[in-house]
Amino acid sequence: MKNFEQFIGSFSFDWRLAKVDIIGSIAHVQMLVKTKILSSSDGKKIIKGLQSISKDIENGWKLPKQEDIHYAIEKELIKRIGTVGGKMHTARSRNDQVATDLRLYIRKEINDIVKMLNQFQSVLVNNAEKSLDIIMPGYTHLQPAQPILASHHLLAYVWMMQRDKERLLDCLKRVNILPLGSAALAGTSFKIDRNYVAKLLEFDKVTDNSLDAVSDRDFACEYIFVLSLIAVHLSKLSEEIVVWSSVEFGFIKIDDVFTSGSSIMPQKRNPDCAEIIRGKSGRVFGDLMAMLTIVKGLPLAYNRDLQEDKPPVFDATDTIKLCLEVITDMMKSFSFNKEKTVKSTEKGFLQATEIADYLARKSIPFRTAHSIVKDIVNFCIKSNKTLDSLSINEYKKFSKNIEKDIFRFINIGNIVNAKNSIGGTSKKSVLKQITDIKKCIK
Asked whether the beta carbons of 192 and 91 are under 8 A apart, the reply is: yes
Of the listed 39, 41, 246, 262, which one is catalytic?
262
Which residue, 301 or 324, is less far from ligand ARG as judged by CB?
301
Rounded least distance, CB 89 to ligand ARG, Å: 12
Residue 153 appears among annotated catalytic residues: no
Distance CA 208, CA 177 (A): 10
Told to check if 302 binds ligand ARG by CB under 6 A, we report yes
Torsion angle, CA of 143/146/147/151, rounded to 10 degrees? Answer: -80
Told to check if 28 binds ligand ARG by CB under 6 A, we report no
Told to check if 304 binds ligand ARG by CB under 6 A, we report yes
Rounded least distance, CB 32 to ligand ARG, Å: 20
138 strand-pairing partners: 146
Residues 95, 127, 151, 176: which binds ligand ARG (CB under 6 A)?
95
Distance CA 177, CA 211 (A): 14
Whole-angstrom CA distances from 381 to 291, 369, 385, 386, 407 are 53, 18, 6, 8, 19
Selection from 5, 155, 113, 126 nearest residue 67 by Cα: 5
Rounded least distance, CB 140 to ligand ARG, Å: 48
Using the contact rule CB under 6 A, the part of the chain among 44-52, 79-87, 91-99, 162-170 near ligand ARG is 91-99
Using the contact rule CB under 6 A, the part of the chain among 112-120, 188-196, 300-308, 415-423 near ligand ARG is 300-308
As a whole number of angstroms, the longest Cα–Cα distance in the chain is: 99
Residue 370 appears among annotated catalytic residues: no
Residues 92, 94, 194, 283: which binds ligand ARG (CB under 6 A)?
94
Q: Could you give the angle at the alpha carbon of 335 between the alpha carbons of 114 and 238, nearest 5°?
A: 55
Task: Give the number of other Cβ atoms within 10 Å of residue 175's Cβ.
Answer: 22
Residues 27, 37, 38, 98: which binds ligand ARG (CB under 6 A)?
98
Q: Which residues of 350-364 are buried (b: 16+ CB within 10 A; e: fewer)?
A: bbbebbbbbbeeeeb
Residue 316 neighbours by CB under 8 Å, 6+ apart = 223, 224, 227, 228, 283, 284, 287, 288
Selection from 219, 227, 223 nearest residue 281 by Cα: 227
Told to check if 219 binds ligand ARG by CB under 6 A, we report no
Told to check if 306 binds ligand ARG by CB under 6 A, we report yes
Told to check if 327 binds ligand ARG by CB under 6 A, we report no
Residues 25, 28, 31, 68: which binds ligand ARG (CB under 6 A)?
68
Rounded least distance, CB 183 to ligand ARG, Å: 11
Which residue, 62 or 304, is less far from ligand ARG as judged by CB?
304
Contact residues for ligand ARG, defined by CB under 6 A? 10, 14, 68, 94-95, 98, 302, 304, 306-307
Cite the active site residues.
141, 262
